[in-house]
């Protein structure tokens, strides 16, 4: 009888531990989900003033992904042309890939869409690599870099308002992997904003 009592106590203790583990796991999942939603809201609010100021298109990526969180199908150049080559500029979130001097007054700023930043901002992810190559006034970019010395850190990115003039396709091999489709929008940088994802 004493043995049965001990076994029953062990079963109850294990069940209680299981329930506590389940509750703790669910609360962590809810906290992560809440944190992601909060980051997305902060990102959207930060970008909202820039989007409004320039009357920019900020939902082109949702149109491109057809409302889905991930688009695995390749992106055709003509799809981006319809979304980017308009009278209005676009909002693009990414990371600085390169900066070079274009002329006495401008830099050529290359920005790549970044999966981690895209997910952190709750934006749709597309399989095709997307870049912007933008003519950017030196004064604008130098002020941005001076104000954000950590701009190349992994947790840093930027939102850019850009007027796109053309879209060019490319197919590149990266790190010995199979071909990666890449589309590059070329145009002018109108505004920059730093983004932190942590």
What is the domain count for the chain?
Answer: 1
Question: Residue 198: its pLDDT value, please?
Answer: 62
- Choose between 96 and 30: higher pLDDT: 96
At 57 the three-state DSSP class reads strand
Q: What residues contact residue 108 under an 8 Å CB cut-off, 6+ apart?
A: 98, 99, 100, 101, 102, 133, 134, 135, 136
User: Does some domain include residue 161?
Assistant: yes
pLDDT tens string 124-152: 888 888 999 999 999 999 999 999 888 88
Structure-token pair, residue 55: 């009357």
User: Does some domain include residue 107?
Assistant: yes
Domain that holds residue 136: 38-196
List for the chain the helix, strand, coil content (%; round to 5).
Answer: 40, 35, 25
User: Does some domain include residue 186?
Assistant: yes
User: Does some domain include residue 180?
Assistant: yes
DSSP alpha helices (H): ranges in 55-157?
60-64, 77-84, 115-120, 138-147
User: Does some domain include residue 44?
Assistant: yes
Largest CA distance in the chain: 92
Strand partners, 130: 183
Q: What is the pTM of this model?
A: 0.74
pLDDT tens string 145-186: 999 888 888 878 899 999 999 999 986 655 555 567 889 999
pLDDT tens string 48-57: 888 999 999 9
User: Does some domain include residue 71?
Assistant: yes
Question: Residue 139: its pLDDT value, please?
Answer: 96
Question: Residue 109: its pLDDT value, please?
Answer: 96
Task: Give me the half-sphere count of Cα atoms (radius 13 Å) on the Cβ side of residue 178.
Answer: 1
């Amino acid at each position: 009888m004493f043995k049965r009592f001990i076994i029953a106590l062990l079963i109850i203790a294990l069940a209680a531990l299981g329930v506590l583990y389940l509750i703790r796991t669910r609360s962590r999942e809810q906290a992560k989900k809440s944190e992601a939603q909060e980051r997305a809201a902060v990102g959207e609010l930060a970008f909202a003033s820039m989007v409004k100021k320039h009357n920019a298109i900020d939902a082109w990526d949702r149109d491109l992904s057809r409302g889905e969180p991930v688009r695995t199908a390749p992106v055709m150049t003509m799809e981006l042309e319809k979304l980017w080559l308009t009278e209005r500029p676009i909002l693009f979130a990414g990371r600085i890939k390169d900066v070079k001097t274009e002329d006495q007054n401008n830099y050529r700023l290359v920005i790549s869409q970044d999966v981690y930043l895209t997910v952190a901002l709750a934006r749709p992810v597309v399989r095709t690599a997307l870049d912007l190559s933008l003519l950017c006034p030196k004064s604008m970019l130098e002020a941005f870099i001076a104000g954000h010395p950590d701009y190349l850190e992994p947790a840093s990115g930027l939102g850019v308002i850009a007027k796109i003039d053309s879209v060019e396709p490319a197919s590149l091999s990266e790190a010995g992997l199979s071909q990666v489709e890449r589309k590059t929008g070329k145009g002018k940088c109108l505004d920059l904003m730093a983004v932190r994802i942590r």
